[in-house]
Amino acid sequence: MKIADRMQAIQPFHVMALLGRARELEAAGRSIVHMEIGEPDFVTPQPVIDAGIKALSAGFTHYTPATGLPALRERIAAFYLDRYGVSISPGRIVVTPGASLGLQLALAMLVNSGDNVLMADPGYPCNRTYVHLLNAQPVGIPVHADSGYQPTVEQVERCWSRQAAALLLASPSNPTGTLLPEDTLRQLYEYTRSQGGSLIVDEIYHGLTYGVDAQTALAVSDDLIVINSFSKYFGMTGWRLGWMVVPQDCVRGIDKLAQNLFLAAPTMAQHAALAAFSDESIAILETRRQAFRERRDFLLPALRGLGFDIPVTPDGAFYLYADCSRFSDDSYAFTKQLLEEAGVAITPGVDFGGNQPGRHVRFAYTTSLENLHEGVRRLGEYL
Ligand SMILES: Cc1ncc(COP(=O)(O)O)c(C=O)c1O
């Protein structure tokens, strides 16, 4: 077949090769401590599972409207009022198959071919792919520890050009777990709008913050797009469900795209998600948030003690982004070595962009404290 040119710009995740190798080693009887996986190890809370089963038994197996089940859109709007004190009309909420599709809808609506989309580097790798699919160009803003691995207004101004259509931010970020300060977010919003561009904020790791409550970007303005998901805080990765909040005048366009691209998010998952906001589910999720916090509070000093440089204490997500240059300046080779020789799987920096990837790795604390202790013990012995 004649393959489209854009395929050359699309990279596989190096961590998938590592995961494949880890599975091979496990099949051969080796024990591997997994600190590379970007999803909660907890299963979906039982009340949500029960609601999903009930929905199937009741025959809810048809499409919903493309924008989502009206009851779920209302429930999400109520969540914004409860959790953030921000009033959102349910009509501005669109339910999507994961944040993945929310990001793609937002970009498809805003970006012309040849445009630029600015984003932090390191950042979530799929964002670059979504932009390439539109024959547009991702522009990485190299972010460092001094700004908490989030772009500053000065950096965005420097990277902005006439081709720039949008700025895409994530708070807390993957891979760094750091939050964007509210005043910076406000300034970035104002700058982007002053240039005629749009702001998209990925809040998928909201709910997973430790000791600080992240405020939604919707508190800054209605005139931006927020992406969120049931995957991380709600522990529903496999149900493929997320949502976006868009300005009122964009709902029609997003609805049109959703109708054409995926018809509707999974019906069973939408019914199940109605139970995700119950007191019972939230109590379970808050206990898990506490468990993630304990893991972070163990792993961060332990890795620093081993010689990894982690200059910023991350406020959220379940990642630690570490400078490993004391051990290697080829982080991919280093992660392969750790897997083979120490039995510990982590993610190399190359998966997150082109900003000093060779000297960075990402640790995910999506495994039990006991496993983390064992991982640190193995790393200590090997290093
Ligand atoms: C920053 C970020 N955005 C979006 C996604 C996509 O998540 P999902 O499609 O499962 O909601 C991920 C998944 O890891 C992520 O880390």
Q: Give the Å distance between the CA of 375 and the centre of ligand 1.
A: 25
pLDDT tens-digit profile of 291-337?
A: 999 999 999 999 999 999 999 999 999 999 999 999 999 999 999 99
- Looking at residue 255, its pLDDT comes to 98
Average pLDDT over residues 126-146: 97
Q: Give the Å distance between the CA of 48 and the centre of ligand 1.
A: 20
- Looking at residue 11, its pLDDT comes to 85
Q: Is 146 exposed, middle or buried (0-12, 13-18, 19+ CB in 10 A)?
A: exposed
Q: Give the Å distance between the CA of 100 and the centre of ligand 1.
A: 6
- Ligand 1: residues with CB < 6 A are 38, 98-100, 124, 170, 174, 202, 204, 229, 231, 237, 242
How far apart CA 146 and CA 276 sit, in angstroms, is 37
pLDDT tens-digit profile of 222-271?
A: 999 999 999 999 999 999 999 999 999 999 999 999 999 999 999 999 99
Q: Amino acid letter at 265?
A: A
Which atom number of ligand 1 is nearest to the Cα of residue 123? 1
Q: Which pTM was predicted?
A: 0.97
361: which strand partners? 322, 348
Q: Give the Å distance between the CA of 227 and the centre of ligand 1.
A: 10
The chain-wide mean pLDDT, for the chain, equals 97
Instruction: With cut-offs at 50, 70 and 90, classify the pLDDT of residue 12.
Output: confident
244: which strand partners? 94, 227
Instruction: With cut-offs at 50, 70 and 90, classify the pLDDT of residue 9.
Output: confident
pLDDT over 90 for what percent of the chain?
98
- Of 161, 169, 160, 79, nearest to 124 (Cα)? 169
pLDDT over 70 for what percent of the chain?
100
- What is the chain's alpha carbon radius of gyration, rounded to the nearest angstrom? 21
Q: Name the residue of 100, 101, 206, 227 to mutate for ligand 1: max ligand atoms within 8 A of Cβ.
A: 100
- Looking at residue 292, its pLDDT comes to 98
User: Residue 53: enclosing H or E segment and its boundaries?
Assistant: helix 46-57
Nearest Cα residue to atom 7 of ligand 1: 99
Q: Give the Å distance between the CA of 203 and the centre of ligand 1.
A: 9
Which atom number of ligand 1 is nearest to the Cα of residue 97? 9
Residue 170, phi then psi, degrees to nearest 5: -135, 130
Q: Where are any strands of DSSP class E within 134-175?
A: 137-142, 164-170
pLDDT tens-digit profile of 49-65?
A: 999 999 999 999 999 99
- Looking at residue 339, its pLDDT comes to 97
- Of 228, 204, 233, nearest to 45 (Cα)? 233
Q: Give the Å distance between the CA of 236 and the centre of ligand 1.
A: 11
pLDDT tens-digit profile of 67-99?
A: 999 999 999 999 999 999 999 999 999 999 999
Average pLDDT over residues 16-43: 95
